[in-house]
Amino acid sequence: MTDILPKRPEVLDFLSMRRSHAALTIGGPGPGEAELEALLTIAARVPDHGKLSPWRFIIYRDEAARTRIGERLAELAEASQGALEPERREQELSRFTRAPLVVGVVSRAAVHPKIPVWEQELSAGAVCMNLINAALASGFAAQWLSEWYCFDEAASRFLGCGEGERFAGFIHIGSPTRAPAERARPVLSDIVSHWREA
């Protein structure tokens, strides 16, 4: 059995200490094309009941395009909320320029005779987590964000979602500019129970 599934203590060490980096602290450079292909290959290696691949990727790398996205998000925010304060406007303008690479993970879960939509959506979440872990394990900084534009139809369409699709999130990837701060983690006794028949 050991030969089939050897222990990987270095993987356990990594997972026990993994920490996302705030997108505001991510700088360049980001992964090159070959590195990105490797990260996406790992990201797609997730539980996927029925082999449906109910997710896909959209890459946002070009700086001019990412700047244009910020301009459009600011326009959409102003259209729904009125004139933005300067600080809020700058926040919208910089949404996609914080890190040198942003990967949109699109959930394309659909009604299936055997596989629940919820299960397909969970698979898309697993893709996001795999991509984060692959980036961090490769020495990059990364953060998974789902801001208002994940759930706004006009913004999602502009960002590349098609009919029946929605974003599971956006993974910002680049180089760390500082060590990420640790945060409080759940106490196991608060989140673990043992089933007993009533």
How many angstroms separate the CA atoms of 54 and 37, rounded? 19
19 labeled binding residue: yes
49 labeled binding residue: yes
Cβ-based neighbours of 92, under 8 Å, separated by 6 or more: 70, 73, 74, 77, 84
145 labeled binding residue: yes
User: In this structure, what token pair is assigned to residue 107?
Assistant: 């959930």
188 labeled binding residue: no
141: burial class by Cβ within 10 Å (0-12, 13-18, 19+)? buried
Cβ-based neighbours of 178, under 8 Å, separated by 6 or more: 25
Q: How many CB atoms lie within 10 A of CB 168?
A: 24
53 labeled binding residue: no
User: In this structure, what token pair is assigned to residue 139?
Assistant: 């020495």
Binding residues: 18-20, 45, 49, 144-146
Which residues are annotated binding-site positions for FMN? 18-20, 45, 49, 144-146
